[in-house]
């Protein structure tokens, strides 16, 4: 249990958390923004950074299936490029899976770290089958590893702002959300955000779109069953379009309405980092430092299940509603636009 023992040092020594990274080639937030936040005083970003220490973490070790990508990233930020994916064990306080293309085989790469109790950020969308997410969570439970498995929208202050308004709307009649299709459906941010706002007790899901990664239109629905008392069943609709902003959300109730929005784009890269990316990275640090789950394992599984139910609706039922809990454990997202079957030889 060297990883877990190593993490214990974080409360007793005055130093930054040592963070290992897996996934720095294509579709990696680490090369795009996260390293600009974590290593805020190091040069190397083509866009810039805060120019001052922002967090108590430092990137110390890196591995990627693409050795050249890992080597280049390590040289840019003065990190150790390890030869084997599990060579970071015993040398790091936390692990970040940063590349979305690593999702299909993340269960393999994460297993030794999770079983050693290393606090870990799991790359989105976490899994392309229920069998995969169950294996990941079993590894985490075996080692008692604290995990954080989120998309960045789940960390925005707009969530608590809207949730604080919900008591004023009375009985919810309907919820409408619109997001930019660059982030939806494949990039899933607003899907998970709506669950964070409204809860995970979704009865049915439907999803319709024209493309997984470059959609012109997307329409998704969550059917909430209500509580059989004051709150009757209602539908949350999520629409993707080429709007310039990140999202606009409206909740309609019998006593009033509530809304929240986020504009997309700021005057400087530093503002973009602060508002759109830093909240998630700050919660990663809390998870690594406190060695506590950002959310329970069962919530990670539930939101993965809802995500997979949406794709089951589109790919197997033509967009018709599908009850949550009915997708077979071994069913896997299969689409020519996403490589969900990638494997890795380690």
And the tokens for 170?
């009375």
> Hey, where are the domains in the chain?
2-149+270-295, 153-263
What confidence tens digit (pLDDT) does each residue in 10-57 have?
Answer: 444 578 999 999 999 988 999 989 999 999 988 777 788 888 889 999
pTM of the predicted protein model: 0.94
Using alpha carbons, list the distances in angstroms from residue 315 to 234, 322, 327: 24, 11, 12
Instruction: Please report the sign of the dihedral spanned by the C-alpha atoms of residue 90, residue 96, residue 98, residue 104.
Output: positive
Burial (CB < 10 A; 0-12, 13-18, 19+), residue 125, is buried
The DSSP secondary-structure symbol of 105 reads G
Residue 7: pLDDT over 90: no
CA dist 188 and 292 (Å) reads: 25
Q: To the nearest whole number, what is the mean pLDDT of the chain?
A: 92
Q: What pLDDT score does 230 carry?
A: 87
DSSP string, 109-157: HHHHHHHTT--EEPPTT--SSHHHHHHHHHHHHHHT--EE---GGGG-H
What confidence tens digit (pLDDT) does each residue in 94-149 have?
Answer: 999 999 999 999 999 999 999 999 999 999 999 999 999 999 999 999 999 999 99
Could you count the other beta carbons within 10 Å of the beta carbon of residue 163? 16
And the tokens for 83?
């030869």
Q: What pLDDT score does 183 carry?
A: 65
CA 201 to chain CA mean position, Å: 19
CA dist 18 and 60 (Å) reads: 6
Q: Which residue has the higher pLDDT, 292 or 11?
A: 292
User: 2-149+270-295 sits in which CATH class?
Assistant: alpha beta
- Grade residue 176 by pLDDT with cuts at 50, 70 and 90: very high
Q: Nearest Cα to 98, choosing from 76, 68, 65, 75?
A: 65
Peptide bond into 125 cis (omega under 30): yes
Q: What pLDDT score does 292 carry?
A: 97
Share of the chain above pLDDT 70, in %: 96
- Grade residue 6 by pLDDT with cuts at 50, 70 and 90: very low
Burial (CB < 10 A; 0-12, 13-18, 19+), residue 325, is exposed
According to CATH, the topology of domain 153-263 is: Dihydrodipicolinate Reductase; domain 2 (3.30.360)
Q: What pLDDT score does 125 carry?
A: 93
């Amino acid at each position: 249990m060297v990883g877990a023992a190593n993490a214990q040092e974080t409360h007793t020594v005055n130093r930054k958390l040592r963070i290992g990274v897996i996934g720095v080639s294509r579709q990696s937030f680490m090369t795009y923004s996260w390293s600009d936040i974590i290593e805020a005083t190091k040069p190397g970003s083509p866009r810039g950074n805060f120019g001052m220490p922002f967090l108590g973490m430092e990137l110390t070790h890196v591995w990627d299936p693409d050795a050249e990508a890992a080597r280049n990233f390590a040289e840019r930020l003065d990190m150790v490029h390890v030869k084997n994916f599990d060579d970071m064990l015993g040398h790091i306080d936390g692990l970040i899976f940063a590349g979305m293309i690593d999702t299909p085989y993340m269960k393999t790469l994460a297993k030794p770290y999770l079983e050693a109790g290393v606090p870990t950020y799991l790359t989105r969308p976490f899994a392309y089958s229920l069998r995969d997410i169950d294996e990941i969570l079993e590894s985490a439970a075996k080692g008692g590893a604290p995990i954080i498995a989120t998309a960045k929208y789940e960390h925005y202050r707009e969530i608590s702002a809207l949730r604080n308004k919900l008591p004023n709307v009375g009985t919810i009649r309907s919820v409408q959300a619109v997001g930019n299709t660059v982030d939806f459906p494949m990039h899933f941010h607003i899907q998970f955000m709506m669950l964070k706002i409204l809860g995970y007790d979704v009865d049915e899901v439907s999803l319709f779109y024209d493309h997984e990664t470059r959609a012109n239109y997307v329409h998704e629905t969550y059917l909430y069953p209500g509580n059989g008392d004051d709150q009757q069943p209602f539908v949350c609709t999520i629409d993707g379009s080429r709007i310039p902003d990140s999202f606009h959300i409206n909740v309609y109730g019998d006593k009033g309405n509530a809304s929240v929005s986020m504009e997309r784009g700021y005057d400087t890269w530093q503002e973009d980092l602060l508002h759109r990316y830093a909240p998630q990275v700050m919660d990663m640090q809390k998870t690594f430092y406190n060695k506590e789950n950002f959310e329970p394992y069962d919530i990670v599984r539930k939101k993965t299940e809802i995500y997979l139910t949406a794709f089951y609706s589109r790919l197997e039922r033509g967009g018709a509603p599908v009850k949550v809990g009915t997708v077979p454990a071994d069913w896997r997202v299969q689409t020519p636009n996403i490589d969900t079957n990638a494997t890795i030889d380690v």
